Structure 1
Amino acid sequence: MTRLSEAARGVYVIAITPFTDNGALDLEGCDRMVDFYLEAGATGLTVLGMMGEAPKLTSEESGIVVNRILKRVAGRVPVVVGVSSPGFAQMRALTLQVMEDGAAGVMIAPPGSLRTDDQIVAYYGQAAEAIGDVPFVLQDFPLATGVQMSVPVISRIVADNPTCVCLKHEDWPGLAKITALRKAGTLDRRISILCGNGGVFLPEEMDRGADGAMTGFAYPEMMVHVVDGHARGDMERARDLFDAYLPLARFEQQPGLGLAIRKYTLYKRGIIDAPALRKPGAALDPLTRAEVDMLIARLEKRLKELN
């Protein structure tokens, strides 16, 4: 098993959790989803993230989903597992389980109860102690967690915890934060920066010093195009492709509806059998589904023109 390290780069797709129409786990859908992400060029997967509906799963179901995905991946790419939890006992138990099953590392988001810089730094020190020598991703997503992590706070967490090897950068606006983190002397060592927010700022994030994406989008190949284009020094072509996908990526970023749109799009692409979210979860009305259909049709037309 290859462990996650500061060298992580590329596209780590945030995996959805497929459900049947009645809310049961769709494990065969998990297999197809994994195959689809890998065929699209993903260099890693992240499961049980916020867009994976992790809080809606029982502890047993979380273990089942991770185990199924790891078996399907079969070591071809690293898999990161979200283990954020109100308590460290549960975080440690899930971490030990998924690492034993073959995960490469875990991701930890801060609880919304943290208010001060010192509280944030202390929390991550305690979390790192709880999970031992397991490498972890620091998730910076203030729009969802309500926790604001400044550049100095991130610097302190990285300095205090050698097992913090990656930042999932999902602040918005956040381009200046990437620039500050990449400035010489800000961090005591270089860590990986993988970005979120559905990839809608990915070209600019790559130019600012990010190493790739750790997010979901129903067309992960868009993110692969951008990251690969940056590596080749051909951002002009990458931006042309990005621009073709952008209307759908923008539509998918709607708060409260984004996951439903993503699942519906994956359903339309034939990846999953049902676009169901486990309750509580928003369902798309007929007009919104029609808008997604129109955006998919326009995307396909534009891609034909570019190719």
Structure 2
Amino acid sequence: MTALSSLTGVFPVLPTPFDAHGNPDTASLRKLVDYLLRCGVDGLTYPGVASEVGQLTVDERQALVDLVLAEVAGRVPVIAGVSSSDAATTIRLAVAATERGAAALMVAVPPDRKNAAEQIVYFKEVAKAAGGAVLMLQNVPPPVGAGLDPEVLIEVLQAVPSIRYVKEETLPSGQRLSVLRAKAPANLLGVFGGAGGRYITDELRRGAAGTMPAIELAEVHTALFKAHREGDADRVRALFTRMLPVLNVQAVFRWSLTKYVLKKRGLIAETRQRMPGPLLDEMDKADVDAFLLDIDDLLLAQDQLP
């Protein structure tokens, strides 16, 4: 385990590219890792909801996490998503990712455990099996997760010292983040935002350690966080405002939007997705094309892409 004293910054969640037959496209996944490193991200996350993780087999997940870690080769920290509805599967994935050098293990709160006591039993079991690895509790809203209130999260944090980070995705994320930072025990090193980066300005004002968006605007998220670190609030707002049209489309179309943009830029071979959900039609694509043209100066040029 690459245990870092602090994880902070932009940790985009890699999607899972699929080929024309619906199998994981490892060549495109490697290219996406290269792209994110060229964007100057602080780290990578894989797999998560943006990776269609619920549609991957356990063997696929383990093999693809291995691929990502090997491709990154220690250049930036990798947060490995090991969540499962089955505790034994979570533990299997956690142990494997720990052995291969993940910086932290992201574990979603199980939706079937409704109170602090049940969540504590679960996270203690995972922490013990992972041998003291750094855990990130992902507070996903229902129906995917339990969407725990801050007071419940604080109880879990106090009982499980291995949880050093929280990814807060239950809304309003900014207000919840403020409560966590004010009341959490010392083992909590930071709170990350998610939700595609749609609430990043509020989260950063409230002291978020970082953000974990989908990857289609990685260059812009990286530039925005750089401006935040430099104390340039005006540029943070300006970059956020320019991203908003694409983020709005992403909120509805999720994987379809991400994969359309990545294929358009030559970073993946196919837009195929396993996860059910709305697909962009031709008018939607025309809108996205126009929005991307509006921010073309913020994106890596074609000759800078892998």
Q: Number of paired residues?
A: 299
Q: Distance in 1 between matches of 2:185 and 2:152?
A: 10
- Contact kept in structure 1, 2:46 and 2:81, CA below 8 Å: yes
The range that moved more, 108-117 or 48-57, is 108-117
Q: 1:252 to 1:144 in 2, by over 3 A?
A: farther
Q: 1:271 to 1:142 in 2, by over 3 A?
A: same
Q: 1:264 to 1:206 in 2, by over 3 A?
A: same
RMSD: 1.9
- Contact kept in structure 2, 1:121 and 1:153, CA below 8 Å: no
Matched, 1:277 2:276: no
Map 1:46-61 to 2 at 5 A: 46-61=45-60
Please list the CA deviations of residues 174-212 of structure 1 after superposition, one character each: whole Å capped at 9, or x if unmatched. 2111112222x4434442111101111112211101011
Please list the CA deviations of residues 189-242 of structure 1 after superposition, one character each: whole Å capped at 9, or x if unmatched. 442111101111112211101011022141112221222111111121222122
What secondary structure, in the 3-state scheme, does the structure 2 residue paired with 1:253 have? Answer: helix
Q: Distance in 2 between matches of 1:146 and 1:108?
A: 10
What amino acid is aligned across from residue 261 of structure 1 in structure 2?
Answer: L
The range that moved more, 185-194 or 284-293, is 185-194
Question: 2:3 maps to which residue?
Answer: 3
Question: 2:24 maps to which residue?
Answer: 25
Q: Distance in 2 between matches of 1:196 and 1:112?
A: 18
When normalised by structure 2's length, the TM-score is 0.91
Matched, 1:79 2:78: yes
Question: 1:263 maps to which residue?
Answer: 259
What amino acid is aligned across from residue 120 of structure 1 in structure 2?
Answer: Q
What amino acid is aligned across from residue 64 of structure 1 in structure 2?
Answer: A
Q: 1:301 to 1:93 in 2, by over 3 A?
A: closer
When normalised by structure 1's length, the TM-score is 0.91
- Contact kept in structure 1, 2:14 and 2:215, CA below 8 Å: no
Offset of residue 281 of structure 1: 5.0
- Contact kept in structure 1, 2:87 and 2:122, CA below 8 Å: no
Question: 1:247 maps to which residue?
Answer: 245
- Contact kept in structure 1, 2:116 and 2:155, CA below 8 Å: no
Give the share of equivalent positions with the same residue, in percent: 32
What secondary structure, in the 3-state scheme, does the structure 1 residue paired with 2:242 have? Answer: helix
Q: Distance in 2 between matches of 1:20 and 1:143?
A: 31
What amino acid is aligned across from residue 258 of structure 2 in structure 1?
Answer: R
Q: 1:186 to 1:101 in 2, by over 3 A?
A: closer
What secondary structure, in the 3-state scheme, does the structure 2 residue paired with 1:14 have? Answer: coil
Question: 1:300 maps to which residue?
Answer: 296
- Contact kept in structure 2, 1:168 and 1:193, CA below 8 Å: yes
The range that moved more, 69-78 or 113-122, is 113-122
What secondary structure, in the 3-state scheme, does the structure 2 residue paired with 1:145 have? Answer: coil
Map 1:1-307 to 2 at 5 A: 2-5=2-5, 7-143=6-142, 145-183=144-182, 185-254=183-252, 257-278=253-274, 280=276, 282-300=278-296
Structure 2 runs not aligned, ≥5 long: 300-306
